[in-house]
Amino acid sequence: MISPNQFKSGMIIKLDGKLYSIIGYQHVKPGKGPAYYRTKLKSLKDNTISERTFRAVDKIEKVLLDERKLIYLYNHGDMYYFMDQQTFEQLPVNKNKIINLIDYLKEDTEVIGIFSNGKIIDIKMPTFIELLVEYTEPGIRGDTAKSTTTKLAHLETGAKIQVPIFINKGDKIRIDTRSKQYAGKANSSSNK
């Protein structure tokens, strides 16, 4: 059992028999009354986001987890298949469990599988991924990296994001998987 002052983003806790990931938390000290913690929680069962407050004296069950490196292989219908890099076992994950990640998953992407009691409860993407721009309006001569204007780009995984106007079809770009936003051009020396 832990108290709210031990919360960290990404920590998995158990409330009312259900597992939640802490997305964010804030210590609030009102002018009157005791301090409390305002948290944003993501249900690991159905990916819903909820807010909940805790008093400093509350005790919450922290879930012991196992993390393993996995590689994304393919999807078939609503099932996404990952391979455990140690056992080479193929592990199916339902689309609903990773709905916010599927637009950024491509074959051979290395991820971290979060396990509880031998079952995958969550998937963590790398902080940055590199994807190919399949379509975007062509840049205009004179467009530079200093411009703040953006345009829509369609990526190889089906994701659509805003990119600077100097990005063209065929460019490889970096995406921050936390914000789902453009983070720069990919290094040309990278072979991913």
Please report, for the chain, the start and end positions of each structural domain, with discontinuous segments joined by +: 4-62, 66-124, 128-185
CATH placement of domain 128-185? 2.40.50.140
Give the integer Cα–Cα distance in Å for 150 and 110: 29
The architecture (CATH level 2) of 4-62 comes to Roll (2.30)
pLDDT of residue 75: 92
Domain 128-185 in the same topology as domain 66-124: yes
Give the integer Cα–Cα distance in Å for 34 and 51: 19
Task: Name the pTM for this structure.
Answer: 0.70
Query: What three-state secondary structure class fits 96?
Result: helix
Let me know if 179 is exposed, middle or buried by CB neighbors in 10 A (0-12, 13-18, 19+): exposed
Q: How far is CA 133 from each of CA 158, 174, 178, rounded to the nearest angstrom?
A: 10, 10, 19
Q: Are residues 53 and 36 in contact, defined by beta-carbon separation less than 8 angstroms?
A: yes
pLDDT, tens digit, 9 for 90 and up, residues 113-139: 988 878 888 888 998 999 999 999 886
Q: What does the block give as tokens for 127?
A: 């902080």
pLDDT, tens digit, 9 for 90 and up, residues 11-49: 889 998 888 988 888 988 888 888 899 999 988 877 788
